[in-house]
């Protein structure tokens, strides 16, 4: 699994910066895709609509940018590292319990969403797409600040940025964003904005995927200085 570090959804509010009203919107049709291949449109349960979306390889890698972004990195990364260590410890304990459990108990674990009985740590998990969207929305002030920083360098910036990130964890510990990247399909890329958004997503607070494992998320943002309406795409 690639580790591509960095820093949330429908930002329908605006903030005033240098007398400019800034809006960050997520348009309809947003996809939250887990690694089982199911997609959700506008927060619907992906298992109900039967859609699938294949992850695209080769997302753009962005170099570190504004020092104001990097200032919070050590603390964020230290917390994430501690959480990952707890996740790994809990996963090891769970896998040991599954390996030694009687057949009836193993069937119960699988029936309630436990990861595969072979203890594969890369097995796909499950996390409610609606919950992910709500959690990302809580980061709207930070995402707006990212846009402000980028506008200081280029006041013509506008467009669509698609962020990909992985969430993994263990139920008794919690979830953590492990990887993040800017997708190639993004129409808006800027070193400061890209790095800031990727770093911000690491502060996302989420429960662990059901039964452990990993969930892959694709989350689009639309940025505009003058405001933008949802286009129904």
Report d(CA 137, CA 13) in Å as an integer.
10
220-233: per-residue pLDDT in tens? 999 998 654 333 33
- Write down the pLDDT at residue 127: 82
| pLDDT at residue 131 in the model | 86
Could you read off the pLDDT of 40-80 as tens digits, one per residue? 333 333 333 333 333 333 333 333 344 444 444 555 555 44
Q: What is the DSSP string of 48-107?
A: HH--B-PPPS-PBP-----HHHHTTHHHHHHHHHHHHHHHHHHHHHHHHHHHHS-HHHHH
pLDDT at 35: 34
User: Could you report the per-residue pLDDT of 118-135, keeping only the tens digit for each?
Assistant: 233 444 567 888 888 999
Mean pLDDT of 77-105: 50
User: CB neighbours of 231 closer than 8 A, spacing ≥ 6?
Assistant: 27, 28
Whole-structure pTM value: 0.51
């Amino acid at each position: 699994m690639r580790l591509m570090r960095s820093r949330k959804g429908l930002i329908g509010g605006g903030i005033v910066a240098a007398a400019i009203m800034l809006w960050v919107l997520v348009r309809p049709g947003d996809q939250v895709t887990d690694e089982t291949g199911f997609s959700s449109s506008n927060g619907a349960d992906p298992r109900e609509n039967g859609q699938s979306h294949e992850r695209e390889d080769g997302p753009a890698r962005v170099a570190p940018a504004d020092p104001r972004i990097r200032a919070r990195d050590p603390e964020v990364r230290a917390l994430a590292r501690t959480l990952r260590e707890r996740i790994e410890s809990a996963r090891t304990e769970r896998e040991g319990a599954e390996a030694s459990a009687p057949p009836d108990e193993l069937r119960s674990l699988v029936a309630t969403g436990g990861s595969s009985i072979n203890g594969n740590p890369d097995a796909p998990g499950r996390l409610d797409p609606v919950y992910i969207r709500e959690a990302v929305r809580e980061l709207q002030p930070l995402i707006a600040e990212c846009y402000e920083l980028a506008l200081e360098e280029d006041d013509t910036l506008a467009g669509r940025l698609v962020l990909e990130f992985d969430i993994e964890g263990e139920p008794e510990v919690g979830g953590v964003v492990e990887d993040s990247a800017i997708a190639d399909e993004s129409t808006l890329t800027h070193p400061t904005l890209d790095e800031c958004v990727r770093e911000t997503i690491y502060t996302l607070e989420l429960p662990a995927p059901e039964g452990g494992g990993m969930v892959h998320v694709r989350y689009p943002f639309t940025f505009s200085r003058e405001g933008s309406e949802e286009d129904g795409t």
